[in-house]
Amino acid sequence: MLNALLMIVSACLIILSLLQSGKTDGMSGAFTGNGGLNLFANVKERGSEKVISNITLVLGAAFFALVILIRIL
């Protein structure tokens, strides 16, 4: 039962991570140095982007908790 729930949470987490828009210039910007990579930039998320980000955060916490719970049991 827990393994099936973990697989569902994992699939949803992957899908939501892929749906999020990139906040940087991409890999080319990282290699060429264009614009600098600022991981702590104050970028405001609005609308559906914020909802997807919050759901991804909740699913990440659920994934972590499920993995520990499965390991204990």
State the Rg of the chain over Cα: 16
* Host domain of residue 73: 1-18+46-73
Residue 25, in any domain of the structure: no
pTM above 0.85, yes or no: no
Gap between the Cα atoms of 72 and 52, Å rounded: 30
Can you give the pLDDT at residue 52? 93
Can you give the pLDDT at residue 58? 96
45 has pLDDT over 90: no
The answer for 36, left when phi > 0, alpha when psi is -120 to 50, beta otherwise, is left
Residue 38, in any domain of the structure: no
Residue 64, in any domain of the structure: yes
Residue 40, in any domain of the structure: no
Residue 30, in any domain of the structure: no
10-35 tens-digit pLDDT: 999 999 999 987 765 555 555 555 55
How much of the chain exceeds pLDDT 90, in percent? 58
Domain count, the chain: 1
Can you give the pLDDT at residue 21? 77
What mean pLDDT comes out for the span 40-56? Answer: 83
